[in-house]
Chains A and B, each alone.
Chain A
Amino acid sequence: DQQVKQNSPSLSVQEGRISILNCDYTNSMFDYFLWYKKYPAEGPTFLISISSIKDKNEDGRFTVFLNKSAKHLSLHIVPSQPGDSAVYFCAARGDTGTASKLTFGTGTRLQVTL
């Protein structure tokens, strides 16, 4: 049972345009959401996060939006750059214990074209 879903396996966007990556979740107990970026042959790296008590968090070109009623979050990248080409994973935390386990989505491969 996939609790965190990224329904678009891939996305292609022109340089300078907006990239919108989507993520849906089913577990209403998730209280914190994160986005990770992964280049080939490297481990994922943290990009941006949002608490469930907020609906928006912004960091430079990256903005994450959370719609709790729809159990949906999205990552906006504006403007998109060729270096943004990577696989993006959304993740959710539902464990408030010391382990703080994350559940990851299946990933979306973003290609930013010239």
Chain B
Amino acid sequence: NAGVTQTPKFQVLKTGQSMTLQCAQDMNHNSMYWYRQDPGMGLRLIYYSASEGTTDKGEVPNGYNVSRLNKREFSLRLESAAPSQTSVYFCATRQGHYGYTFGSGTRLTVV
């Protein structure tokens, strides 16, 4: 079992370019999440999806959009990348009642 798979692992974008970060889980969990990790800021919630067909904003949603394509997949889109979006992005799914299972992350650099 792969758990939570994120692609790509690394990406460099120019300011203004767009891209989609992919996340897929094989754990049959309903809830999925996108976080970003920045030095000194910890993990901050961008968007989440409580179940297939629903999405909601988290703490830092500006500049992002999401799609919950089906139960397995939850993608994060940057329509016009900015240097402030340079970060490590983590997708997660809820494990058990409270804990999360995280993917290995996507390291994004916007130049």
Task: Give residues in A with beta carbon < 8 Å to B.
Answer: 4, 6, 9, 32, 34, 36, 41-46, 49, 89, 91, 93, 97-107
Query: Which residues of the partner chain B approach A41 to less than 8 Å between Cβ atoms?
Result: 104-105
Count of interface residues, chain B, beta-carbon cutoff 8 Å: 29
How many contacts A-B (CB < 8 Å)? 62
Contact A42 B104 (CB under 8 A): yes
20 further A-B contacts with Cβ under 8 Å, apart from A100-B97, A106-B41, are: A4-B42, A6-B42, A34-B99, A42-B104, A43-B92, A44-B43, A44-B100, A44-B102, A45-B102, A46-B100, A89-B42, A97-B50, A98-B50, A100-B94, A100-B98, A101-B45, A103-B45, A104-B42, A104-B43, A107-B42
Residues of the A chain whose Cβ atoms lie less than 8 Å from the Cβ of B41 = 106
- Distance of B55 from chain A, by nearest CB (Å): 10
A43 touches B51 (CB 8 A): no
Interface contact B99-A49, CB-CB below 8 Å: yes
Residue among A44, A89, A93, A105 with the highest chain B CB neighbour number at 10 A = A44
In the complex, B56 has a CB within 8 A of chain A: yes
Q: A98-B30, A104-B42 are in contact. Are A43 and B95 (CB under 8 A)?
A: no
